[in-house]
Structure 1
Amino acid sequence: MGSFDYIVVGGGSAGCVLAARLSEDADKTVLLLEAGGEGRDFLIKMPAGTAKLMGNKAFDWCLPTESDPSIGGRTMQWSVGKALGGSSAINGQVYMRGERSDYDAWAQMGCEGWAFADILPYFLKAERFHGAPSQSHGSHGPLSVSPIRDPQPIGQHVIDAFTQIGIPLNEDYCDGSQSGVYRIFATQENGQRCSAARAYLEPARGRANLTVMTGAHADRIVIRNGVATGVQFRCNGQAMQAHAVSEVILSTGTLLSPAVLMRSGIGPAAHLTSLGIEVHADLPGVGENLREHNSVALAKLVNIPTLSAQLGPLGIARGLIQYLVAGKGIMTTPAVQVMAAFRTDPDLADPDIILSMLPVAVNFNDRGDAILEKRPSFSFGFHVARPKSRGQIRLRSSDPDDKPVIDHRLQGAHSDVAKLVKALKIVESACRAPALASVITGTLRPDPIPETDEQWEDYVRSAGGIGYHSVGTCRMGPDGDPMAVLDTQLRVRGVEGLRVIDASVMPEPVSANTNAPTIMIAERGADLIRRRL
C-alpha cells in the first residue's frame, strides 16, 4: 500500500503517542496500524464503562492463560484493549507513576538514561494536570489528569483508618514517593475518559503525513538481510504490505509484541524452528520475563451508602442523566478512588504493597466479567509492588489468528505470597481501626476471616489473580546481557530499523499501574527516534 518513513504497529497507549509525536515532523510520513476500532464508543468515553468493556470481545483481546499450578491449576483471561487507545480505552483510569527507586534500579541494571531524573521530564511533558499547581505535575501536555469527581464517603473512612494505624496521608503520590494513603488522580477530562487516543491521536488526525488504519491485523514484520523493511498485515480480510523507509516500531503490548516478533523470525531459535518459522535473529529473551502484579482482594459490608447500592436500574438511570447533562455523578467514577502504598516490613526502603480501594465489592470471573455486590459494600484489591514471580509467552503456531500461549506462574515466587499474607493481615487491622470499624457490618471475602498464616496462604492461592499490569517480555538491557531483547535505545538486537516501544520493554516491574509509565516510555522513545535523525 505504499511507503512510509515510520510504521507504528499497534494503536494502544504507546502507539498513539508515537504516531502523534513522530508526525509532528511534517516532512516524515507515519502509518499507524490498529487491529481494533476507532475507540470513540459511548462506553469508552464514559468512565464507568470499564466494567462493560473488560471481557467484551469487541474491545478486548480476551487472552486466555494456561493452567497455572501456582494458583491451584486455575486458568484466567487477560484483558488487553482492542481499539485506538488500547488498554487506556478500557482501563480503570488510575494515573500513577511508581517509585523513584523503580527507575533508578533500571539504571543500576545498565539501562542508561532511564533513571528517575532522566524520565521525569517525559511524565511532565505528557501531562495536563487539573489539580493544584505543582512542580511534580505537567500543565501543558496532551494527557488530561484530574482529581476524581464525586468521591464516595467510604473513601474518607479508608483514609482515616490507614492514618490511624500509622500509614500517613500522602498529598502528592506522583513526586517519586508513593508511600502513604491518598485519593487517586484519574486520566479524565470534564468527566470523560481521556485515553491515549483522545489525548494524542485525535488532535493529530488532520495531519496530511499521518495515516491511521483500524481493523488492520499485523501478521509479521518483513525482514530482509537483517533489516526491517515493512509490515505484512490484513485489513478487511485482504492481505496487505506497507514499506518502512526509516523504522518499524512495534507497540502491541507485553502479551502481543513478543508474539509478533516471533512470527517475524525474532526470538528463541529452537522454538521458531519447531514451528517452521525462518530465524532472522536468535533472541532467547523474547517472551521471557513476563511479570505481573499478582493481586488479591477482600470485601466488606458497611452501613453507609456506597456505589454498590447505587447500581440498580433506578440508580444507573439517574447516573446516566447526570453524566449526559452535567458530566457528573456515578458514571464519572473510576473503579478505584483511594490507594495506599505501604511496607510489610518497616525496615524496607520502599513500600512493597500497593492497595486500591473500590467503592463496590467486585470480583471478576474467568471470562473477565465484573460481578457486583448490590448491598452497601466496598473492597480492597492489592498487589506486590515488585513481584518476583515470572512467566513466558510462546507461540501456539505460526498462524497470526492463534492466540499466544501465556504461561505465567503468577505466584511462583513464595516471597510474593508471603508479602500478600502480611498485607492481608495489615489491611484487616485497618478494618478494625475506629474509622472503618464504625461502618463495617460484615465480611464478604474472605468469609470466614482466616486465623493462621497457612489459612491466609490458602486464600491467596485460591483467590489471587492478575492485576492487568503485565510487563517485561521484550525487555531492554545493556550490551552483554544475553536475555535483553532491546538495547537501551529500544532497538531490537540483531535487526536494523526495528524498535519495540511499549510496556514489554520494562526490565523490572514498576510499583504502579502501568498506563502512565507506558506513555512516558513512548514519549522518550519518540525522542530517541527523532534524535537519531
Structure 2
Amino acid sequence: MADFDYIIVGGGSAGCVLANRLSTDPKNRVLLLEAGGKDDYVWIKVPVGYLYCIGNPRTDWCMSTEAEAGLNGRALKYPRGRVLGGCSSINGMIYMRGQAADYDGWRQSGNPGWGWDDVLPYFTRAEDHYDGASPVHGSGGEIRVEKQRLRWTILEAFRDACGQAGIPAIDDFNIGDNEGASFFQVTQRKGWRWSASDAFLKPVRSRANLKVVTGALVDKVIVEQGRAVGVAYSLGGTPQVALSGGEVLLAAGAIGSPAILERSGIGDAAHLSALGITPVLDAPQVGANLQDHLQLRCAWRVSGVSTLNQRAANIFGKALIGLEYVLKRSGPMAMAPSQLGVFTKSDARYATANLEYHVQPLSLEAFGGSLDPFPAFTASVCNLRPESRGTSRISTADPSIAPGIRPNYLSTDEDRRVAAQAIRQARGIVAQPALARFHPEEVRPGACFKTEDDLRRAAGDIGTTIFHPVGTAAMGTVVDERLRVNGIGTLRVVDASVMPTITSGNTNAPTMMIAEKGAEMVLADARG
C-alpha cells in the first residue's frame, strides 16, 4: 500500500507551491520532505537578515564551488537555503520574472507551453501586487510584491545618470521587456520578508492530507520496473522509506535535484558506476548545463552624499537604523541587498537587454564582510545570458556530502568580452553629470585596469555568483515539456533545474511559476 499520492522532495520555493496546490483536493495525500529545518529564525523575517542567514549553517548548506579557472583560480561560496522556504528564506527578495523573449526561446527550442503568453497567467495567479490587478499583475494571490521602503539620494542620482547615458527610467521590470532603470520590487509584506513558506505553506499546514517533515535527508528515489514508487531518506540518522501511489516530484533545486537523480542511478552511467552506484538510466545530461549569473562588483568612493557605509559606521548610527525599522518597518533594515536595478545592452548586437545592474548605497570587499570605512556605492553588473556551461555532479554516494559544483564561469571568449564591456559601460554611467557632484572615484576594480586584457583579468578577480544556478535537469534533455523525467515513469523535476536557458534576471519568481505550472500539469495528468 502506498503511503501517499504525491511525495515532494524539497521544501523550498518550488516545493512550497507544490505542497499547497497538490493538497488543495483533500483526496490527495501529500508528503513534503525538507532536509533543512523550520523557518523560525528571526533573521529570516527581517529583510536585512540575509546577512545573518547566508553562510550560517542553521539556514544555509554552506556549499562552495570548485576552484574556477575563469576566476583566476578562486572558489566561491555557494549559498543554498537549508530551511522551509529554501532560498526564498535567505535570498535578496527581488521579484523579477525575466523577459518575454526568455520564455519564447524556451518554446521555440522545442518546449511547447512555455512561451511568455503561456507562463504569464501562472505568474499573475499567485501574485498579490501592491498596485492591484492589471493585464500583467495579479491581486489577492499568495506572493506579496511591494515597493521597497527606503530612499537614497545616491541611487536616484545613479538612475538620472542612466538616463543621461541613454538608459530610460521605467516603472516596472515585470511586463515582458525589462530594459531601463527602476527600483526593484520585492517579496515583502509590510517591511517583513515574505518567503514561499510564508506565502504557500504556512496557510495550509493544518490540512489533514498534508504531512511536512523537516530534517529529512533524501538519499534516492526508489525505482521499480521503470517507475518511481517512493523515496529512501533518513530522519535523525534513522533510515526511512515513503511510498507513492502517484508521483515523486523532485524540487530540491538546481544542485539538490540532480544529486538525488544521480544517487538514484539516473545520470551518466560511467560516472555512477565509478562511484559504486548501479545505473538505472544512462542520462549524461543530469547535472550538466549548469548556468549562473556572475556579477562584477564595481564600486566608487563618493563625497557629499549619505551611504550606508557612514550610517552604519558606529553604534549611534546603527541604533537609529534599528529604531527606524522598529517604528516604521523602513530604512536599511528593510533593504533588499540591492535596491536600484538597471537592464541594458552591452552593445547593439543584442536585441534585448543582456546586462543587469544591482546598484547599492554601500561597498565592501566581499559579501558578508565589513563595509568600507568611506562613503561609497556599488554597481554590480552581470551578464544575463552567459554562454558558459558548467556541471554539478556528486563525487560520492553519501547524501551528506555536497556535489562538486563547477560553474565554469567566463570560459568562453564572448563571456569574457561581455564582462570587459560591462565594466566599461558602468564607468560610462558613473561619468555622467548626474553623479559628478559626488566626485566618484573608482575603487573596484580600479582605474588602473584599462586595456581589454586588463578588464578581462579584473572580471576574474572581482566576479562572484549572484546565486542563480539553473539548468541541471533541463527541459528537452533530462525532462520533457511536462517536466517528466525522460525514461522513468511517475517522476518529475519541478524547480530551477528544468530551465533550458537561464532567465534574464533574478530566478526566484520564475522558479515559483514553474512550480505553479508544474502542479497544474500533475493534477491534469492524474485526471487523465
Aligned residue runs from structure 1 range 410-421, under 5 A:
410-421=409-420
Which residue is 1:461 aligned to? 460
The CA deviation at 1:360 is 1.2
User: How far apart are the structure 2 equivalents of 1:151 and 1:89?
Assistant: 24
User: How far apart are the structure 2 equivalents of 1:452 and 1:437?
Assistant: 24
Which residue is 2:257 aligned to? 257
**More deviation in 252-261 or 318-327?**
318-327
Aligned residue runs from structure 1 range 107-146, under 5 A:
107-131=107-131, 134-146=134-146
Aligned residue runs from structure 1 range 256-335, under 5 A:
256-303=256-303, 304-311=305-312, 312-335=314-337
The 3 A distance-change label for structure 1 pair 133 and 161 is farther
Percent identity, aligned pairs only, is 40
- SS of the aligned residue for 1:423 comes to helix
1:426 aligns with 2:428: no
User: How far apart are the structure 2 equivalents of 1:52 and 1:335?
Assistant: 12
The CA deviation at 1:133 is 5.1
User: How far apart are the structure 2 equivalents of 1:186 and 1:177?
Assistant: 18
Which residue is 1:529 aligned to? 522
User: How far apart are the structure 1 equivalents of 2:326 and 2:488?
Assistant: 50
- SS of the aligned residue for 2:287 comes to coil
Which residue is 2:56 aligned to? 56
User: How far apart are the structure 2 equivalents of 1:133 and 1:395?
Assistant: 44
Q: Is the 8 A contact 2:2 2:245 kept in 1?
A: no
- SS of the aligned residue for 1:486 comes to coil
Structure 1 counterpart of 2:424, which letter? K
User: How far apart are the structure 2 equivalents of 1:491 and 1:196?
Assistant: 23
For residues 443-492 of structure 1, the C-alpha deviation after alignment (integer angstroms, 9 at most, x for no partner) is 22122342222211110112212121111000011xxxxxx000110001
Which residue is 2:405 aligned to? 406
Q: Is the 8 A contact 1:360 1:378 kept in 2?
A: yes
The CA deviation at 1:257 is 0.9
User: How far apart are the structure 2 equivalents of 1:387 and 1:467?
Assistant: 13
- SS of the aligned residue for 1:246 comes to strand
User: How far apart are the structure 2 equivalents of 1:255 and 1:118?
Assistant: 27
**Structure 2 alignment gaps of length 5 or more:** none
Structure 2 counterpart of 1:136, which letter? V
Q: Is the 8 A contact 1:410 1:466 kept in 2?
A: no
Q: Is the 8 A contact 1:51 1:370 kept in 2?
A: no
User: How far apart are the structure 2 equivalents of 1:316 and 1:498?
Assistant: 50
User: How far apart are the structure 2 equivalents of 1:228 and 1:440?
Assistant: 62
User: How far apart are the structure 2 equivalents of 1:14 and 1:302?
Assistant: 41
Which residue is 1:66 aligned to? 66
Aligned residue runs from structure 1 range 91-490, under 5 A:
91-131=91-131, 134-303=134-303, 304-311=305-312, 312-364=314-366, 369-477=368-476, 484-490=477-483
- SS of the aligned residue for 1:256 comes to helix
User: How far apart are the structure 2 equivalents of 1:249 and 1:82?
Assistant: 18
For residues 390-435 of structure 1, the C-alpha deviation after alignment (integer angstroms, 9 at most, x for no partner) is 1112211111111111122111111111111111111101111111
Which residue is 2:17 aligned to? 17
User: How far apart are the structure 1 equivalents of 2:499 and 2:327?
Assistant: 42
Q: Is the 8 A contact 1:146 1:186 kept in 2?
A: yes
The CA deviation at 1:115 is 0.4
Q: Is the 8 A contact 1:4 1:245 kept in 2?
A: yes
Q: Is the 8 A contact 2:132 2:138 kept in 1?
A: no
User: How far apart are the structure 1 equivalents of 2:292 and 2:36?
Assistant: 24
User: How far apart are the structure 1 equivalents of 2:509 and 2:95?
Assistant: 6
Structure 1 counterpart of 2:238, which letter? Q
The CA deviation at 1:150 is 1.3
What's the RMSD between the two structures over aligned residues? Answer: 1.4
The 3 A distance-change label for structure 1 pair 84 and 532 is same
The 3 A distance-change label for structure 1 pair 509 and 441 is closer
1:495 aligns with 2:494: no
Structure 2 counterpart of 1:307, which letter? L
The 3 A distance-change label for structure 1 pair 354 and 490 is same
User: How far apart are the structure 2 equivalents of 1:520 and 1:362?
Assistant: 33
The CA deviation at 1:323 is 2.2
- SS of the aligned residue for 1:255 comes to helix
Q: Is the 8 A contact 1:131 1:147 kept in 2?
A: no
User: How far apart are the structure 2 equivalents of 1:71 and 1:375?
Assistant: 27
- SS of the aligned residue for 1:160 comes to helix
Structure 2 counterpart of 1:159, which letter? R
The 3 A distance-change label for structure 1 pair 378 and 104 is same
Q: TM-score, normalised by structure 2?
A: 0.97
Q: Is the 8 A contact 2:420 2:455 kept in 1?
A: yes
For residues 90-130 of structure 1, the C-alpha deviation after alignment (integer angstroms, 9 at most, x for no partner) is 01111111111000000110011000000000110121001
User: How far apart are the structure 2 equivalents of 1:506 and 1:296?
Assistant: 24
User: How far apart are the structure 2 equivalents of 1:73 and 1:336?
Assistant: 27
- SS of the aligned residue for 2:146 comes to strand
The CA deviation at 1:132 is 5.9
The 3 A distance-change label for structure 1 pair 3 and 133 is closer
User: How far apart are the structure 2 equivalents of 1:51 and 1:309?
Assistant: 18
For residues 169-198 of structure 1, the C-alpha deviation after alignment (integer angstroms, 9 at most, x for no partner) is 122211100111111100100000011000
Structure 1 counterpart of 2:118, which letter? D
- SS of the aligned residue for 2:56 comes to coil
Structure 2 counterpart of 1:277, which letter? I
Structure 2 counterpart of 1:421, which letter? A
Structure 2 counterpart of 1:183, which letter? F
Q: Is the 8 A contact 2:31 2:211 kept in 1?
A: yes
User: How far apart are the structure 1 equivalents of 2:197 and 2:276?
Assistant: 37
**Structure 1 alignment gaps of length 5 or more:** 478-483
User: How far apart are the structure 1 equivalents of 2:2 and 2:52?
Assistant: 38
User: How far apart are the structure 2 equivalents of 1:446 and 1:75?
Assistant: 19
- SS of the aligned residue for 1:447 comes to coil
For residues 265-315 of structure 1, the C-alpha deviation after alignment (integer angstroms, 9 at most, x for no partner) is 111111111111111111111000011112211111222111222223333
**More deviation in 216-225 or 309-318?**
309-318
The 3 A distance-change label for structure 1 pair 2 and 111 is closer
The CA deviation at 1:324 is 2.9
User: How far apart are the structure 1 equivalents of 2:455 and 2:229?
Assistant: 53
Structure 2 counterpart of 1:308, which letter? N
